[in-house]
Structure 1
Amino acid sequence: MAETTPSVEELAAVGFDRLRADRERLDRIDRYIRGEHDGPYTPKSATEEYKLLAKRAVSNWLPLLVKTPSQALAVDGFRRSAEAEGQETPEEWRAWQDQRMDARQAPVHRAALTYGQAFVTVLRDPADPTRPVIRGVSPRLIHVSYADPAADALPLWALQIEGLPEKEGAEARGWLYDGTSVHDVMVGGKDGPRVIGSAPHGFDVCPVVRFAPDVDLEGRVTGVVEPMIPIQDRVNQTVFDLLVSQTFGSFKVRTISGMAPEFKRDPATGEVVLDASGRPVPIPIRADASRFLVAPDPDTKFSQLDETPLGGFLDAIETATKHLAALSQLPPMYLGVGSVTNLSAEAMAAAEMALSRAVEEYRHALGESWELVLFLCAIVKGVEPDPEAEVLWTDAGSRSLSQTVDALGKAVQMLQVPARAMWSRIPGVTARDVEEWAQMAEADDPGLRMADAMASAVAAPAAVTDGYAGGDGA
């Protein structure tokens, strides 16, 4: 019996159910990255002062785990495999610049690292079908279905919504992308999903690209935030215990034994003042650095209770942050553990080796996704896509400029690598800089100037001869 193709409504219902099923987990990650953590343990009888300390105990390290590698992920160039010397800027890269992706790529990278995946849609501009529109989409707002989630580059279909409704039974607007069209749908209502419009998107594939820096063979993705939440909770609990000890036990307590307190007396009658329960009201003893305590009774003893040592709490916080750094491949010095005083560029590079390897792995995964995005942009622009093209990443290493230039110079001199091939590897140099340098080099090349002069010298007599022959024939 032949399988029936699911309708748009059925796919929208499946996608919406999956989004609601993932909502709790993704919302928890979103809360933690924004600093809204589960509070540390406090007794049920905790006072307002304890609750205030619990709020102050939140030390949000998680954004640093995302921002540090994402700041080393910046696409700044695109190279086609058959790109000739001096060829104009590829149309795909023009679309990238037109969509301001130099700045808008960062949120995509941060979402991919935070949740484990992010998505980018490529559609045609309704006002200009030859202009691609690139948009990043949070995984909290889109569900994507693959035949093989571990190996497929593009999905079978995807459902994107404006936002999950807060009330049960409320509707939300969405868009379902399949291999031919974009369907405008309403989901979440009591009557089930309904299609309110459809339009072809101009591709023969679903134009949704996944950015998954860490995906396994079963298609499961893992971000850098969720595995670190237990350690983050441990840090918050230790900081809370530190604040409680610092507030209530970090100072010496003076004690007096064997001395009867003096009681308040009525100035008019001289009688002892009683409280509501009939007990005499003692006069408080004021003890501070400016006062000297004296007792008339020789059996009176003055003593003090020592403060609670805070070193153990500080050591526990440092240990937890070391665990956080080790599991996230972040240099411990980024979390305030250790010292970076007088570190050379070589020592800094060695300390960042684990981070550099993680960033390199992310570049391989995310670079393939950006190349697929630009592949779809080429289709929209009407040019032949290049499956062998590649994106170029900014060099964010900690090597010094002199060290890098020295290494590149040795590659040119000792290995006979063309000098022009090394220009793009200089830190801070963009693709536009390389293009301008190439134009300057061609303009300043004496060989090219001599060739232009010879061409001009040969062309001038030819023009005179042709004119003379014409006059003689007349």
Structure 2
Amino acid sequence: MATELDNSGDLKLVRSGLAKLASALPMWQVREDAATGKGNLPYAPKGVDVEYLALQKMAPLPLIRLAVRTTCQRLRAGGVRTAKGADFDKELWRIWDRNNLGSRQRIVYRDGIVHDRGIMSVWPNKADKSTPIVRPESPKAVWIEPDPADPFSSIWAVKHWTESRDDKTITVAMLYTPKYWAKFEGDGAQNLGEVKRGKNPLGRVPFVTFEPEIDAEGNNSSLIDALMEPQKAVNTLRFDLLLAAQFAAYRQRIATGYDPVVRDGNGDPIVKRDPETDEPILDADGLEQPLIRSPGRVGVDRMLVFPGTDTEITDLSESDLGNYVTALDMLVATFAAVAQVPPQYLIGDFKNVSGDLMVATEATLRSLVTDLQTGYGESDKEVFRLVEIARGGDADALSDLEVDWSDADPKNINQIASAASQMVPNGAPMRMFLEQWPGSTPRTVERWFADAEAELSRVMAGDYAATETGPKPDE
């Protein structure tokens, strides 16, 4: 589909970006399967029966998924602050809300944890210039090329997708540079042609990366890579436990010296015969099938009687499943330590755990979340800078921007209220305690203050009935 618009240099960049995305796709799928609980099943020898395979499917325990969700549930930007004042901050946050990023922000946070990189895009909105378009992007579909001289900045990016047109699948690829963008289409990555181009109104590559771990050379890593092997160990031991519970958890009766084959007077096996042709019935290997005498059904109210003088009935003791449980708890606790998740979240054992102890076990998770908020906060700031450019503002005016994160840590509201009652009368600001209240955001705190001020004004004006909840005097 090459046209007169084609630029060989740009097409080379597009193909390079698509090739890098294709080479990263297998690892993307491995990480996605691990994060969604679809990792490899525990090992089982070939040829095992259906019962073994059913236990093999039951064995996996999706701890990686739980660890990722536990962390992501504590990552939620709740507001922004700048030196320009509350009205300016509210307008920035309005744009965030209009793009439904209150819920969609978790997409990029999760992608950063799972796939080593989350991506968010910003672009001017032709329909409403005051509200730029901000979207999470899939790291499977967007490649961002780092600057060799400065790996923390990008020099171009490629985004691709497919469309169905006239029963044909068309590959669409977009190239973005700080100066321009170009659109390519074709029936495959190797048959693309440029169909359109234009000026980049942002003057920057319109993608922002969210990378939880990155080194000085710009190399990033997934936080779940270190959890895959511990996850496999847990799955394998759970498989062993299920097998032991199925086949060795109860006392087994065994018979020795018993020949179940029916024999004639000469001691030769009597074979099965077709009742119509009287021909021997053969098994799958072509061998004659002997008649087998039933040993009877085992039961507490039945007696087993075997022919022959050499038959002995004994039993095998059951397996101790407690050893499996102990080892499994140890592996899960080790997984929790590597994932920086409180072990009680994974084991589910809350016996004899005090509130203070539970808060203490949250320390490692709190450290992880704080570290992620620091890195993701810088990315969120860059998103807002691009938003300011997209709506015609000055990104340098947001140099002092700060992101407020909603506090999702477990809180003892009685302790917060007690501390406030003691410290506020001595000069501590009430805002300090309201911001720690579960579920509070800068906007809810402002609303609480406004409501309190309105109530106080009515009381000072003598409108006591508006604030009282009891019956009025005439009642």
Same-fold call, TM > 0.5?
yes
* Distance in 1 (alpha carbons) for counterparts of 2:366 and 2:228: 23
C-alpha change, 1:357 and 1:409, in structure 2 (3 Å) is farther
Matched, 1:379 2:381: no
Q: 1:318 to 1:50 in 2, by over 3 A?
A: same
Alignment partner for residue 10 of structure 2, among 8, 15, 25?
8
- The residue aligned with 2:380 is 370
Instruction: Report 1:23-422 matches (<5 A).
Output: 23-83=25-85, 87=87, 90-147=90-147, 152=152, 154-162=153-161, 172-186=171-185, 189=188, 191-257=190-256, 274-275=271-272, 276=280, 277=288, 279-293=290-304, 301-336=312-347, 339-341=349-351, 343-384=353-394, 385-414=397-426, 416-422=427-433
Q: Which moved more, 1:344-353 or 1:275-284?
A: 275-284
Deviates more, 1:440-449 or 1:218-227: 440-449
Kindly indicate whether the alpha-carbon contact (under 8 Å) linking 2:144 and 2:154 is maintained by their aligned counterparts in 1: yes
Contact 1:174 1:185 in 2 (8 A): yes
Paired residue for 1:457?
A: none
> Do the aligned partners of 2:107 and 2:118 also contact (CA within 8 Å) in 1?
no
Letter in 2 for 1:357: S
Letter in 2 for 1:70: C
CA distance in 1, matches of 2:385, 2:294: 85
Q: How many residues align?
A: 431
- Alignment deviations for residues 82-121 of structure 1 (CA, whole Å, 9 cap, x no partner): 426xx46532111011111111111121111111210000
Residue of structure 1 equivalent to 2:466: none
Question: What secondary structure does 2:131 align onto?
Answer: strand
Letter in structure 2 aligned against 1:136: P
CA distance in 2, matches of 1:46, 1:294: 32
Paired residue type of 1:54: Q
Gaps of 5+ in 1: 266-271, 451-474
CA distance in 2 between counterparts of 1:138 and 1:404 reads 40
Q: Distance in 1 between matches of 2:459 and 2:294?
A: 102
Q: Report the CA distance between 1:141 and its aligned residue.
A: 1.4
Report SS of the residue matched to 1:302: strand
Deviations 1:356-405 (A, max 9, x none): 00000010111111121122222223344422111111111112111123
Mapped partners of 1:27, 1:164: distance in 2: 22
Query: Do the aligned residues in 2 keep the contact of 1:348 with 1:398 (CA within 8 Å)?
Result: no
Distance 2:230 2:162 in 1: 30
What runs of 5+ residues in structure 2 fail to find an aligned partner?
A: 1-6, 273-279, 281-287, 462-475
Q: Which amino acid aligns with 2:181?
A: V
Using the alignment, how far apart are the partners of 2:78 and 2:149 within structure 1?
A: 29
Report if aligned partners of 2:56, 2:239 keep a CA contact under 8 Å in 1: yes
Q: Deviations over 1:323-352 (max 9, x none)?
A: 211111111111116x32353432211011
Q: Tell me, what secondary structure is at the counterpart of 2:132?
A: strand
Q: Is the 8 A contact 2:163 2:172 kept in 1?
A: no
Q: Contact 1:150/1:216 (CA < 8 Å) preserved in 2? A: no
Change over 3 Å in CA distance of 1:187–1:319 after alignment to 2: farther
Contact 2:184 2:192 in 1 (8 A): yes
**Equivalent-residue separation in structure 1 for 2:146 and 2:423 (angstroms):** 45
Match of 1:462 in 2: none
Q: Which amino acid aligns with 1:90?
A: K
How far has the Cα of 1:228 moved from its partner? 1.0
2: CA distance, partners of 1:24 / 1:209:
23
1:425-436 equivalences under 5 Å are 425-436=436-447
Secondary structure of the residue aligned to 1:205 is: coil
Residues 68/281 of structure 1: CA separation in 2 closer, same or farther (3 Å cut):
closer
SS at match of 2:219: coil
**How far apart are 1:250 and its partner, in Å?**
2.7
Q: Quick one: distance in 2 between partners of 1:65 and 1:142?
A: 26
Structure-2 separation of matches of 1:177 and 1:278: 74
Question: Per-residue deviation at 1:418?
Answer: 2.8
Letter of the 2:208 partner, please give it: V
Q: What SS does the corresponding residue of 1:158 show, helix, strand or coil?
A: strand
Tell me: CA distance 1:379–1:254, structure 2 relative to 1, closer, same or farther (3 Å).
same
Q: Is the 8 A contact 2:122 2:206 kept in 1?
A: yes
TM-score by length of 1: 0.81
User: 1:273 Cα deviation (Å)?
Assistant: 6.6
Query: Alignment partner of 2:303: what SS?
Result: coil
> What is the letter of the counterpart of residue 235 of structure 2?
N
- Return closer, same or farther for 1:319/1:362 CA change in 2, 3 Å cut-off: same
Aligned residues of 1:92 and 1:375 also touching (Cα < 8 A):
no
Q: Distance in 2 between matches of 1:417 and 1:306?
A: 68
Provide, for residues 391-433 of structure 1, a one-character-per-residue CA deviation record: whole Å limited to 9, x for no partner: 111111112111123334555345x333345433322223332
Displacement, 1:290? 2.1
Q: CA deviation at 1:279?
A: 4.4
Task: Give the TM-score normalised by structure 2.
Answer: 0.81
